[in-house]
Structure 1
Amino acid sequence: MEALQTGFFLEEGKSKLLLFEGKDDHLTPTCRLDLTESGLFIIAGRMMGHSFLHGGPSFTGLSPAIIHVILGRDPKMAPISVDDCVDWDVREVLELLEGTDNFTEDERERVNNICLYWDLPTVDRENRQWLTEKILLHAVLGRTEKQVEQLQRGLRDSGVYDLLSARPDTAAILFPRTSEREITPQMILDHITWPANVAYGVSRLDQDRILGFFRRFIENGTPDVLKSLLRFWTGWEVLSGHLKVEVIVCDLPMSATCFYRLKLPAYVQEFEEFTNVLKAVCETSSSGFGQV
């Protein structure tokens, strides 16, 4: 799901492949014919559906217009905004059309080139607003029609689409806003079950010191650091009701992701060393646990 959200590498040394692009809360499927023909958006829909069914991470930041169409609603009634358009050339044309000034010859040519390419009439005084709506609708929904159909198919394959159809309000859970994905220090602290007993070979003084370091690490953590911690701790960026932590005799922090259990080494004496060690192992969650 992280790769689906942020892109993934098909070949080493190449740039990331994005299935979705645009601003946060205005993400739309990438308009690439090869991705559609390969059926990657079907796979993306299955991934979203199965992650939802298993309590995993949701896909965040999808455009409300795309969600509207995924739910099977009329595209003409979709809540589209200019922010949903990822093509800067088209956005500039839309800004020209929405303005009140007369066009220069160059501006009129740019607008008419888009209109003719998309089988629309050329611009005049009477059709500026109509053209704005038509161009925006095609740029956001017309060009992503096949991608959305594949997402629907993937969601249907996972068994989630029937739920979405019967309960459209569940779309807010399956496709939350970006702000709902943010993780704060207090959110993590509220979910932690602190150890009641001291592990074998560890003194109470050592345990209190390490747990103090850990609390301080969380309280000072940036959203990215906290997400990395959660991925190492639980396997994904989803808060569990019972995050467990232990202080034991070990060389490096370890995690039992299935049990949401984090094990911290008792030997560390300084907070800076604790921070460096914990950050180092957390960064291994994307390449393989423990590969520092």
Structure 2
Amino acid sequence: MLGHSFLHDGPCVTGLSSAIIHVLFNGDPEMATIVTEDCPDLHIRSIIEMLETEELTQEQQDTVSDLSMSWDLPAVTKTNRRWLQNKLLVHAMLLDKIIWPVEDNDDDDEFDVETTCRITGFLRLFIETASPRKLAELLKFWVGWEVLPCELKVELSRGSFPTSTTCFETLKLPVHFKSYTDFEAAFMASINSTHTGFGLV
């Protein structure tokens, strides 16, 4: 349908990201610009749009401050508005692509709901609080490069450290972590391996 639309100069495809159109017409992927409309989370999109305005009402300032505190972000200033917009957009798009583990009665190695929620909660917290640079390293560890795929899968495992199957875009998280501090330390050790491993190929 997309190919037919482009070949015959219409009908126009609505809802398609301008960044996708740029790449479809042989544009440089590195130059593709993600815009606010690409953000799937309407609440975060509204906050990003708020940050584009020069002056915020008290209610808008409270809304942005609440999100900043929950994600451990600095207070909004005139100098960091653009950085904060980019951070919120990257976080929202990454979280939207994740396919979280679900209960599977056919799985002999099934983990209980409490364990699943604890480990996936650690991953969500890491994504929400990580800098854009760390998220780029996470994506490289997860899929082999820094281009966001259509979906990102998460599985639980009984290993010692987080691993990934880049061909299948699957991140495997060990279930033995009881605290976020231990999870983050092991997670960072795994992510940092991309500086000398497969991520450089």
TM-score, normalization by structure 2: 0.54
Q: Secondary structure at the match of 2:150?
A: coil
Whether 1:202 and 2:57 are equivalent positions in the alignment is: no
TM-score, normalization by structure 1: 0.38
Alpha-carbon deviation of 1:171? 5.9
CA contact (8 A) 1:250 1:265 kept: yes
Alpha-carbon deviation of 1:226? 0.2
Q: Which one has a bigger Cα radius of gyration?
A: 1
Alpha-carbon deviation of 1:170? 3.6
Higher relative CO (CA 8 A, sep ≥ 6), structure 1 or 2? 1
CA contact (8 A) 1:201 1:249 kept: no
Counterpart for residue 174 of structure 2: 265
Which consecutive residues of structure 1, in runs of 5 or more, have no partner in the other structure? 1-166
**Equivalent-residue separation in structure 2 for 1:215 and 1:188 (angstroms):** 10
Alpha-carbon deviation of 1:232? 0.4
Alpha-carbon deviation of 1:173? 3.5
Whether 1:253 and 2:162 are equivalent positions in the alignment is: yes
Structure 2 CA distance for partners of 1:168 and 1:261, relative to 1, 3 Å: closer
> Which of 128, 139, 146 is the equivalent residue of 1:219?
128
Q: Secondary structure at the match of 2:164?
A: strand
1:1-292, aligned counterparts within 5 Å? 170=25, 172-176=27-31, 180=34, 184-197=90-103, 200=109, 202-288=111-197
Q: Secondary structure at the match of 1:246?
A: strand
Q: Residue 176 of structure 1 aligns to which amino acid in structure 2?
A: M
Alpha-carbon deviation of 1:195? 1.2
Identity %: 35
Which consecutive residues of structure 2, in runs of 5 or more, have no partner in the other structure? 1-21, 35-85
Alpha-carbon deviation of 1:187? 1.0
Alpha-carbon deviation of 1:235? 0.1
Alpha-carbon deviation of 1:202? 2.8
CA contact (8 A) 2:151 2:169 kept: yes
Q: Secondary structure at the match of 2:127?
A: helix
Structure 2 CA distance for partners of 1:202 and 1:169, relative to 1, 3 Å: closer
User: RMSD of the TM alignment (CA)?
Assistant: 2.9
**Equivalent-residue separation in structure 2 for 1:263 and 1:193 (angstroms):** 12
Alpha-carbon deviation of 1:168? 11
